[in-house]
Amino acid sequence: MATAEREFDSWLSATLDFLFSAFGLVLVWYPMVSLGNAVLGFPVSASTRNLLVGVLAFGGSYPVVAGDWSLGRLGEYVFVLLASVLAWGFVGTVAVLAWEASFSGSNPAPQAAVWAAAYLTAYFVVYRTQWSIFR
């Protein structure tokens, strides 16, 4: 009986890790793919974009469950990414107001610049420094 419980716990744990990592990777990939698509002029449809994000999240979840990637590191990356988006958005807003610049509401370039800065910030904070966010 203990073996069956252990196998169920192992299976449940791996399934939850897979689902959490897929959700985290959707949070990472969706803005990148969506804004990249908008900057390029919408070359793919919304359903194709969503399928691409799903495939990237599904495929990227395997190394978290069975490989060397860590679910905790992914969580830290998502947290720092979202915090960086807010911080860089604030910095960009202050800069636009200070320079009295204006952008068209349909122009995705400012959003793409904020997200690109946030992706780089999150990468350097989580993977290139020895800082630990949640410990």
Interatomic CA distance for residues 32 and 119, integer angstroms: 9
| CB neighbourhood size of 1 (10 A) | 5
| pLDDT surpasses 70 at 6 | no
pLDDT tens by residue, 85-122 = 999 999 999 999 999 988 888 899 999 999 999 999 99
Distance of CA 11 to the CA centre of its chain: 26
Do 61 and 15 touch, CB atoms closer than 8 A? no
Q: What is the pLDDT of residue 60?
A: 93
| pLDDT surpasses 60 at 1 | no
- Look at residue 31 and tell me if it is in a domain: yes
The interaxial angle of helices 2-39 and 71-99, nearest 10 deg, is 20
Its domain, for residue 34, covers 2-128
- Look at residue 48 and tell me if it is in a domain: yes
The count of domains in the chain is 1
pLDDT tens by residue, 49-72 = 999 999 999 999 999 888 888 898
- Look at residue 123 and tell me if it is in a domain: yes
Q: Across the chain, what does the average pLDDT equal? A: 91
Q: What is the pLDDT of residue 123?
A: 95
Do 53 and 22 touch, CB atoms closer than 8 A? no
Do 20 and 71 touch, CB atoms closer than 8 A? yes
- Look at residue 134 and tell me if it is in a domain: no
pLDDT > 90: percent of the chain: 67
pTM of this structure: 0.89
- Look at residue 133 and tell me if it is in a domain: no
- Look at residue 82 and tell me if it is in a domain: yes
Return the closest-CA partner of residue 122 out of 22, 28, 55, 1. Answer: 28
- Look at residue 135 and tell me if it is in a domain: no
- Look at residue 104 and tell me if it is in a domain: yes
